């Protein structure tokens, strides 16, 4: 029988730990962590993510600020706001919710963020520091995935791990974290050009699915006893729901789960852990732990 990796449960444990630390900061008259978020336009998923991030801040006692821009905003305006936040001593960390409208270069935006305030851990400086194991802002989703694996006591040392997808915000950074000393997995990253991907996935003890294709991972690709982490969060039509949509993972959960030792659900698996990583990053920054 498989075990569900409950992201909501672990995230709420970590939030309690963070709330205790915030209470200590408050009692000793220290600075309360403050996270800001920039949201451009009104993409449904981005609205939900950002609303949840603000709610998380309230829950642990952080201050939070939401900055909204209309979808027609020019790159210059957003870069000016980033510069302002970089120099605002009260803001410990901030994020710019992606994706951005086409007229704005995401890379330019990410590179404009002060690496010491880059709560998402997307800046090349933070990715570089993570790569060589220095203290830094960790990329939120990869850190959340590793924390789930660690807190469920899942063995990684010497085990075969396949990462499906090579995005800058999930696939690539998680592959680096999993191969680091102390985690010690044998990591293989596969992508849209991989030949024999079924065979490679079948060889894996741990599967991280991060390609954004609903139900891409099928039961016949998964080895008996594998650990499956599903990062997919594609919105698909669901007429039975009031909203008219639901979140679909990259794994055909119903058929894959019976073959697994551990599996994350969607929603309620990796998603809540991404948000908690953001809180962890902001707390570290407020405590001066990121240098
Ligand atoms: N869009 C999808 N996931 C994320 C995330 O973790 N951070 C930001 N800034 N944008 C996203």
Q: Is 129 a catalytic residue?
A: no
Residue 97 CA, ligand 1 centroid: distance in Å: 5
| Domain regions of the chain by residue span | 28-114, 140-270
Looking only at the bridges linking them, the beta strands covering 260-263 and 3-4 are parallel
Residues lining ligand 1, Cβ inside 6 A:
95-98, 120, 140-141, 274
Low pLDDT (below 70) residues in the chain: none
Q: Is 246 a catalytic residue?
A: no
Tell me how far apart the alpha carbons of residues 139 and 180 are, in angstroms, rounded to a whole number: 15
The pLDDT of residue 289:
86
In this structure, the number of other CB atoms found within 10 A of the CB of residue 214 comes to 17
| All residues at 6 or more sequence positions from 191 whose CB lies less than 8 Å from its CB, including other chains | 164, 165, 166, 171, 211
Q: Is 97 a catalytic residue?
A: yes
Q: Return the residue whose CA atom lies nearest to atom 3 of ligand 1.
A: 98
Residue 138 CA, ligand 1 centroid: distance in Å: 13
The pLDDT of residue 290:
77
Architecture of domain 28-114: 3-Layer(aba) Sandwich (3.40)
Tell me how far apart the alpha carbons of residues 178 and 142 are, in angstroms, rounded to a whole number: 9
Mutate which of 37, 95, 212 to test ligand 1's pocket (most atoms within 8 Å of Cβ)?
Answer: 95
The pLDDT of residue 140:
94
Q: Where are the beta strands (DSSP E) in the chain?
A: 3-4, 34-40, 63-69, 93-96, 160-164, 186-190, 206-209, 226-230, 234-237, 245-248, 260-263
Task: Give Cα 247 distance to the centre of its chain.
Answer: 16
Domain 140-270 annotated CATH 2.40.30.40: no
Is there a common fold for 28-114 and 140-270?
A: yes
């Amino acid at each position: 029988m498989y075990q569900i990796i409950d992201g909501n449960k672990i995230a709420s444990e970590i939030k309690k730990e963070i709330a205790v630390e915030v209470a200590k900061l408050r009692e000793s008259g220290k600075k309360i962590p403050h996270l800001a978020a920039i949201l451009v336009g009104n993409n449904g998923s981005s609205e939900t993510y950002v609303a949840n991030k603000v709610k998380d801040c309230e829950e642990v006692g952080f201050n939070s600020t939401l900055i909204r821009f209309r979808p027609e905003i020019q790159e210059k305006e957003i870069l000016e706001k980033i510069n302002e936040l970089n120099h605002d001593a009260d803001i410990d960390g901030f994020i710019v919710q992606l994706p951005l409208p086409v007229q704005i270069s995401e890379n330019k935006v990410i590179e404009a963020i002060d690496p010491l305030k880059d709560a998402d851990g997307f800046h090349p400086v933070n990715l570089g520091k993570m790569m060589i194991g220095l203290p830094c802002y960790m990329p939120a989703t990869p850190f959340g995935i590793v924390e789930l694996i660690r807190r469920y006591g899942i063995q990684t040392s010497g085990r075969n791990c396949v990462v499906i997808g090579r995005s800058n915000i999930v696939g690539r950074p998680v592959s680096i974290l999993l191969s680091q000393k102390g985690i010690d997995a044998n990591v293989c990253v596969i992508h849209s050009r991989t030949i024999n991907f079924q065979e490679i996935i079948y060889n894996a003890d741990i599967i991280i699915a991060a390609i954004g294709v609903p139900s891409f991972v099928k039961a016949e690709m998964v080895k008996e006893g594998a650990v499956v982490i599903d990062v997919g969060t594609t919105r698909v039509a669901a007429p039975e729901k009031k909203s008219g949509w639901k979140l679909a993972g990259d794994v055909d959960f119903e058929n894959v789960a019976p073959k697994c030792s551990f599996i994350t659900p969607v929603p309620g698996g990796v998603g809540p852990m991404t948000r908690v990583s953001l809180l962890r990053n902001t707390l570290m920054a407020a405590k001066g732990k990121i240098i």
